[in-house]
Chain A
Amino acid sequence: MTAATTDTAGPVARRVPGPRRRLRLGASALYLVLAFIAIVYVFPFLVELATSFKTDADAAADPLALIPPSWSTLAYRQLFLNSDFPLWFANSAIVTVSVTIGRTLFDSAAGYALARLRFRGRGVLFAALVAIMAVPGVVLLIPKFLVINQLGMFDSYSGMIVPLVADAAGVFIMKNFFESIPVAVEEAARLDGASTLRLFWSVILPMARPALITIVILSFQGSWNELSHFIVSTSSPQLNTLTKGVAGLSAGGLGKSTMYPLKLAAAAIMTVPVAVLFIAFQRRITNAASGAVKE
């Protein structure tokens, strides 16, 4: 037993036998602290899920219970059968898929050109890109409405989708990525006489898969969760997305109105697609988002 622990202990621990016990004690304390914090972080979501299956009365009477006193699927039936919720879901899906496709194509093309192609004006474009990235999004709320309105795109799918496809940070990410991969493959293909467009489509894009996945994750999450842009670009209820629709459920103040199971069911469902995306790419998100490749 002792021999085994000595083996696994680091060289420093071996030199100083005293602290080893402290180390183990420390580890238990660490697990305790982390477990506590993890509960604090996870608990709200468990409450959300549990409450969505409660009756209104139970939700008010026992907000902490993780197992509903009496199971009720009323909230879900109401959402799917007696409300515009399916429409909101469809609108969110349409916008998210379109924006993601658009961003992936445009970001990678522009990023590639900025990283690899030599042309006059490239430096100016890149400087403009960095300047644009510095403008905080909320500041553009009113300005965006003005332009969308002026272009006659207000209250239409195009007004919801096209402005969101503009994505300076994505271009920046793709440019950085292309600069990090070796030129050799492209040069070989170029020698074979491939046109730039063909080269891009059949050689560059397949190589850029990791960065493209990053863009897909960011775009999907960004446009699925987007709220403010839809507030300023639409007014008719037929164009409500999940975010705008669910935010509207609370008109008059969430604190005052009840129907908590209904609202929390809606909140839970709208979390599912990003949660699925998150779980599917979990390793990539938590590692790539931190720029770490060590594990």
Chain B
Amino acid sequence: MTSATANRPVRRRRGGIRRGQAAAGWLFTAPAFLLLAVFLVIPIVMAFWVSVSDWGGRGSPFSADVGFVGGRNYAAITSGGGLAEQDFGTALRNNLWYVLLVVPLQTALALLLAVLVNNRVLKGRGFFRTAFYFPSVTSSVAITVLWFFLFNPTGAVNRLLSFLGIDGPNWPADATGVLHGALAAIGVRNGPALLTEHTALGISWWEWLAGPSVGMLILISMAVFTTSGTFMLLFIAALQNLSDEVEEAAMVDGASPWQRFRMITLPQLRPTLFTVLTLGLIGTWQVFDQVFTGSQGDPQKTTLTPAYLSYTAGFQNQAWGQAAAIAFILFAIIVAFTILQRIVLRDRRVGAGRMRRYGFTLDGRLTAARTAAAVRDDGAGGAR
């Protein structure tokens, strides 16, 4: 009541108060937006110029002796049969397998953890939540050091496997693709001519289908370990916002726990699932820290990723144009995958339109932004 009456004079006087607001508005936003412009917008423009120029790393890319070369840098990494094309193809192949394995695994594990931890009869939820989330806050460098120790040939993982009577591989040095390895186990060592004779991006189809190398499995398991906690929190938040009524009604109707999860909980989680998959896709295409710290592309380039290749192309080979071109293609890939996933999920959404009725909170938006921030900050294997 009081505030309502107090509001009226405020309104009337606003003209006077507002006058200073334009200046204050610009003053307040200037520092943050200047920084964003200088270190995020200008770099993109500059890198685009470098990607179509022959700049060699010396002096300014805008100086007179730097020439425009059109799409030559893009062509060098996507055609022409050179080493650059082969490396780029290999990096894409590696990262594609990484994405195909990490995204489903991290999403499923995060959902499983969330459902388990969110159980009402559970005591000590805080402890479990903390245990599962902790790997997500540690630095990618520290985790990588630890992970390569666990997976060294005489390390903890192989020791545990030996208890089960399994002779573990030399993880960090084994370049065999797991699918090739599985085929070799049943006696198939060479692919059919159809697959070995055709190539894409300098790599034969047979090589594209090799699967992730044993060495890459180290990075894949690490990504699942470090990201599942973050995504678990997103799922927990979504689960806590669901109303109990529908679930209880289904319970009375005699639906089994699995039926309740499958038919009632899961459809309502779709928006969160969407967020998690999107963040997962964005994160997994950006693996850099782990490769830089742990494998440097070894064994035999099977852990090379586009992000790491872009770095080595620029900083080690001084091929700045190609390095920038790789960055832009990577950007395009991430956008394309996000759109593709959006289309795939939207189609199925029509049937589940009624879930809108349950009124999902807008908290999700803020959470997504926060997680996106975390993803960007460490660009870690699959969005920590």
Contacts of A44 in B (CB 8 A): 135, 146-147, 150, 225
Question: Do the beta carbons of A137 and B139 come within 8 Å of each other?
Answer: no
Q: With A and B bound together, what is the CA distance between A172 and B117 in angstroms?
A: 30
Decide yes or no whether A87 CB sits under 8 A from chain B.
no
Least Cβ–Cβ distance between B233 and chain A, in angstroms: 4
Q: Are B60 and A150 in contact (CB under 8 A)?
A: yes
Q: Is B370 an interface residue (CB 8 A)?
A: yes
Closest chain-A Cβ to B225's Cβ sits at a distance in Å of: 7
Whether B32 contacts A270 by the Cβ 8 Å rule is no
In the complex, A206 has a CB within 8 A of chain B? no
Interchain nearest-CB distance for B166 vs A (Å): 15
Contact between B296 and A142, CB atoms less than 8 A apart: no
Secondary structure call for the B interface: helix
The answer to the question of A110 belonging to the interface, with a C-beta cut-off of 8 Å to chain B, is yes
Interface 1/0 per residue, B354-369 and A, CB below 8 Å: 0000000101111101
Residue contact A139 to B328, C-beta cutoff 8 Å: yes
Q: Kindly state whether residue A90 has any CB partner on chain B within 8 Å.
A: no
Do the beta carbons of B295 and A255 come within 8 Å of each other? yes
A275 lies within 8 A of chain B by Cβ: yes
- Decide if A254 touches B21 in the complex (CB within 8 Å): no
Whether A292 and B236, one on each chain, are in contact in the complex, defined by CB atoms closer than 8 angstroms, is yes
Q: How far is the CB of A97 from chain B (nearest CB, A)?
A: 16
* B109-135 vs A, Cβ < 8 Å mask (1 yes, 0 no): 000010011010110001111111111
Residues of A within 8 A of B80 (CB): none
Given A122-B25, A169-B369, A255-B152: A34 and B46 interface contact (C-beta under 8 Å): no
Among B44, B132, B286, B377, the residue within 8 A (CB) of A41 is: B132
* Interface pick from B201-209, B306-314, B344-352: B306-314
Residue of B nearest to A252 (CB): B296
In Å, the complex CA distance between A141 and B40 comes to 10
Contact between A41 and B43, CB atoms less than 8 A apart:
no
Is the pair B372, A169 in contact by a Cβ cutoff of 8 Å?
A: yes
The answer for the CA separation of A250 and B44 in the assembled complex, in Å, is: 32
Point out the residue from B32, B46, B151, B155 that lies within 8 Å of A109, measured CB to CB.
Answer: B32
Give the distance to chain B from A25, nearest Cβ to Cβ, in Å: 11
Q: Which residues of A contact B147 (CB under 8 A)?
A: 44
CB of B69 within 8 Å of the partner chain: no
Contact-residue bracket for chain A: 35 or more
Report if A146 contacts B (CB, 8 A): yes
Contact A267 B40 (CB under 8 A): no
Q: Which of A143, A249, A263 contacts B46 (CB 8 A)?
A: A143
Complex contact B330–A119 (CB within 8 A): no
Q: Report the separation of the CA atoms of residues A290 and B364 in the bound assembly, to the nearest whole angstrom.
A: 8
Known: A137-B376, A142-B320. A254 touches B294 (CB 8 A): yes
Q: Does A156 count as interface, using CB distance less than 8 angstroms?
A: no
The SS class assigned to the A binding surface is helix
Residue in chain A with minimal CB distance to B241: A292
Residue contact B156 to A137, C-beta cutoff 8 Å: no
Q: Is the C-beta of A53 less than 8 angstroms from some C-beta in chain B? A: no
B140 x A166 contact (CB < 8 A): no
Minimum distance in angstroms from B50 CB to a CB of chain A: 6
Q: Which residues of A contact B98 (CB under 8 A)?
A: none
CB-CB < 8 A to B288: which residues of A?
138, 141, 227-228
Q: Given that A146-B43, A176-B369, A278-B134 are contacting pairs, would A250 and B294 also be in contact in the complex, using a CB cutoff of 8 Å?
A: yes
Kindly identify, within residues 126 to 163 of chain A, every residue whose CB is under 8 Å from any CB belonging to chain B. Answer: 128-129, 132-133, 135-147, 150-151, 162-163
Q: For A131, give the chain B residue with the smallest CB separation.
A: B41
Max chain A CB contacts within 10 Å: which of B28, B159, B315? B28
Q: Which of A196, A242, A266, A274 has the most CB of B within 10 A?
A: A196
A291 and B137 within 8 A (CB):
no
Q: How far apart are the CA atoms of A231 and B140 in the complex, in Å? A: 14
- B210 within 8 A of partner (CB): no
Does B17 touch A at the CB level, under 8 Å?
yes
Cβ of B252 under 8 Å from chain A:
yes
Q: Is B258 an interface residue (CB 8 A)?
A: no
Determine the distance from Cα of A151 to Cα of B376 in the docked complex, in whole angstroms: 24
Q: Which residues of A contact B295 (CB under 8 A)?
A: 253-255
> Cβ of B251 < 8 Å from any Cβ of A?
yes
Q: Which residues of A contact B282 (CB under 8 A)?
A: 136
| Cβ–Cβ < 8 Å partners of A132 in chain B | 36, 40-41
Pick the contact of A48: B146, B285, B374, B375 (CB < 8 A): B146
Closest residue on chain A to residue B229 by CB atoms: A41
Residue A113 lies at the interface, judged by CB distance under 8 Å to chain B: yes
* Contact B365–A42 (Cβ < 8 Å): no
Q: How far is the CA of A222 from the CA of B374 in the complex (A)?
A: 7
Whether A144 contacts B28 by the Cβ 8 Å rule is no
Interface status of B5 (Cβ within 8 A of chain A)? no
Which 6 A-B pairs rank lowest in CB-CB distance, beginning with the nearest?
A: A255-B172, A119-B25, A143-B43, A291-B363, A169-B373, A222-B377
Starting from the known contacts A34-B117, A119-B26, A275-B134, 11 additional A-B residue pairs (CB-CB under 8 Å) come to A38-B132, A45-B146, A142-B50, A166-B39, A196-B20, A228-B311, A246-B145, A253-B298, A286-B126, A290-B237, A291-B367
Could you name 30 residue pairs across A and B whose Cβ atoms are closer than 8 Å?
A: A30-B121, A34-B122, A47-B149, A48-B146, A51-B149, A63-B156, A64-B156, A106-B32, A118-B22, A119-B22, A125-B29, A135-B40, A138-B379, A142-B47, A142-B324, A142-B327, A143-B327, A150-B46, A166-B32, A166-B35, A176-B369, A196-B24, A227-B378, A255-B173, A256-B172, A267-B145, A268-B142, A289-B230, A289-B370, A291-B363
